[in-house]
Chains A and B, each alone.
Chain A
């Protein structure tokens, strides 16, 4: 795969950046998320996690099935603060 292919489209993180981070020793989805922000965008990793998991196995071995995936953090989809605060707060 070409280095400039975007893997995490929320944060514009490329295949090359991910490979470089894995080769520097960040070999789990959790570690990559905290340094590269892959999984921190609006989709919360639903788009890129499986792709990144496969790249990790290609670089350091192991099976995608055995990999620890990111915890699902609420909310499921981004929600406006005003909606979460309730209608009574509207001015």
Chain B
């Protein structure tokens, strides 16, 4: 393990791997990425792999749209298959609140140039998906350029490309604390020794809170368990991700053929619990049987859980920490880190490299939470 680095990235999820790659691509190659287990063993590897641009706040929508632009050529750039597919996202509205919010979202997204459209329930079968039960659906929005990809392959692709450029990746290397002298970062202490560095990227998802605390910094991230299941593989029949915030569901068919999906259990308590529950399995099966009756005879192969690292406004915390020079935060992605990783990591790398980020990310700095008004994103599933 290197003992001196220009930057140490903590966390081997898609964010950490993509930040490492973008730093090295920008010329900072003496970086070390530390991961306590193996790549994408945390939230990244447990996520649904959706890439949605339909958000209700401008920063999330902009980050997602720019990320899709990067995703489109990422397989070429990283020279490997990540199962990227622009199958679209169909978002279903069931309530008055949904309808009102969807129109607001539509206005914002169209203003930003997104190819989103409003569909009436009867248009869904002919335009998007034939097998969907639209009982109770008031309207839907559909964005054909929304996409999906394989989170494991994407993280590995970023990591492999970073290593080729000179980054060192140390797996199974838990960080015990970040080292600070006065108002600046001086190193990282791991279970395998110390790395001296003036810069640390805290990209450890829900565990970022605990790491920040080792240098006396509090970041407002709360972990919530989110559960998910996967079925046996089926012949290709479904291209878009189908989601609803009020009904509470997201599901899609992955390249391998399985249907993968989940929902946020409404009474979930905050905490680091990653156990699977029978309640989730039965409730999710109810939801799937209702929305797509043909799936009743399809078998569930596996269920698991992961953690959303949720911030008060459901937007990520990206940027340097006031009062601690060299401590960069890249967490709090609130369940949508995978889909905005390409742009978020590129912007953070620009900031670390001393360049002007090509999108204003100052508003994503952690200091926003001590300045009052926050702009909650309503489009979290």
Within the complex, the shortest CB–CB distance from A71 to chain B, in Å, comes to: 8
- Chain A interface, >50% SS class: loop
Judge whether B256 and A81 touch: CB under 8 Å: no
Considering the complex, which residues of chain B in the window 138-193 have a beta carbon less than 8 Å from any beta carbon of chain A? 152-153, 156
Q: Which residues of chain A are within 8 angstroms of B369 by Cβ–Cβ distance?
A: none
**Bound CA–CA A86/B278 (angstroms):** 13
**Bound CA–CA A34/B290 (angstroms):** 31
Whether A78 contacts B299 in the complex (CB less than 8 A), given A37-B256, A85-B285, comes out as: yes
Contact with B along A30-68 (1 / 0, CB 8 A): 110011010011101000000000000000000000000
Residue of B40, B41, B281, B296 touching A75 (CB-CB under 8 A) = B281
Judge whether A44 and B300 touch: CB under 8 Å: no
Interface size on B, residues (CB 8 A): 33
Whether A14 sits at the interface, judged by CB under 8 Å, is: no
A44 nearest in chain B by CB position? B302
Judge whether B289 and A41 touch: CB under 8 Å: no
Residue of A40, A41, A78, A85 touching B282 (CB-CB under 8 A) = A85
**Bound CA–CA A44/B299 (angstroms):** 13
Judge whether B38 and A85 touch: CB under 8 Å: no
Whether B270 sits at the interface, judged by CB under 8 Å, is: no
Judge whether A81 and B231 touch: CB under 8 Å: yes
Judge whether A40 and B296 touch: CB under 8 Å: no
Q: Which of A31, A42, A91: most chain B CB closer than 10 A?
A: A31
Q: Which residues of chain B are within 8 angstroms of A28 by Cβ–Cβ distance?
A: 38
Whether A81 contacts B302 in the complex (CB less than 8 A), given A31-B39, A35-B153, A75-B281, comes out as: no
Judge whether B153 and A81 touch: CB under 8 Å: no
Judge whether A79 and B39 touch: CB under 8 Å: no
Within the complex, the shortest CB–CB distance from A73 to chain B, in Å, comes to: 5
A77 nearest in chain B by CB position? B299
Interface residues of B (CB under 8 A from A): 37-41, 45, 152-153, 156, 230-232, 256, 276, 278, 281-282, 285-286, 288-290, 293, 295-304
